Amino acid sequence: MLPVTYGYDFYATDKTGNSRYIDERQLEASESYLNLVNSTDFYYLSTTSTTSNRVINIAPLGDTRYKSVIHEDEDAETDSVKVWITKFNNARIPIYRTSTVLLHLAEAFNRLGMPDAAFAILKDGINEYLVREDGGAAYITPETRLALTTTYPLLSEANRSKFAESYNAYGIHMHGSGYASDFDVDNNVYTPGLSPYQLDTIVGLKMLEIQNTYGVAVGTTKQDSINAVEDILCDEYALEFAFEGTRFYDLCRLARHKNGHASSTSSFDGSPATYGANYGGRWIARKLAFKNPVVNLEEPSNWYLPFK
């Protein structure tokens, strides 16, 4: 029974007649997940801001999606804090949701050579301001604007009204980070640079992290940017889909992107040459090292069950 795995007895009731949480849950939040949550910045509207003068600040408050996933309750009798995973406190099992589709779209855009479009899905959502000629999203390149209106016509003139800015200017990162978008809801206007959550800043920080973590020579090529945005998406997968059973498969898929393959139809598949051979294998092995695996995850054949 799935809810019991997360510490929730769907069929039992407590003294008040409500279904109850139980102590014998089988899953725990990993240290890796908690570190990611706690290291994520939160963007908030300054208390001195007015509708005519918007100022967005940063605070190290962590990603607030944690609160919708984890429930903490102080037990006065035992002077302790009980922790439950509340994401599955019912009998429904989600197969996929809108966020799944959008993040997979961002992943595809990134490997098609449009890391700016991928980042837009996190920051501003798919909305018409991305391609407007009168001062839209400054981080969107002319090539990406053209692709989003022709080759992948989500924002073509025929479809643009389906993505009106006032209804769709909410990127997925805003689910837990506050004001990541540059869209000013109160004034119904897009102000480039309004939020500190900017493509160059976030990608730059991720590049530095990759360099320090994996000991590789990170450059300034488009391939370096694509790899960094992919790692940003990897973090977003963890924050958005924690405990939904998709993490290992997401990591395997991204590791294959990083290794590249001969049948790839994208010239942007694979990692920069300076990262060395089998970077994807080393990347996923590092991601899962906290689990102390009994096999060498740098070898892709060990990612799958041996059906022989």
Amino acid identity of residue 78, one-letter, is T
Residue 261: what pLDDT?
61
Q: pLDDT higher for 121 or 164? A: 121
Q: pLDDT by residue (tens digit) across 207-258?
A: 999 999 999 999 999 999 999 999 999 999 999 999 888 999 999 999 999 9
Helices and strands (H and E) in the chain: how many: 12, 8
Q: pLDDT by residue (tens digit) across 97-145?
A: 899 999 999 999 999 999 999 999 999 999 888 888 776 789 999 999 9
CA distance 81 to 93: 28
4-18, 80-94, 163-177: lowest mean pLDDT where?
A: 4-18
Sign of CA dihedral 63, 64, 69, 71: positive
Structure tokens at 7: 């510490």
Given a contact cutoff of 8 angstroms between Cβ atoms, the answer to whether 290 and 32 are in contact is yes
CA distance 86 to 3: 9
Given a contact cutoff of 8 angstroms between Cβ atoms, the answer to whether 240 and 291 are in contact is no
In Å, the largest CA–CA distance within the chain is 67
- Show the CA angle centred on residue 231, arms to residues 221 and 33, nearest 5°: 160
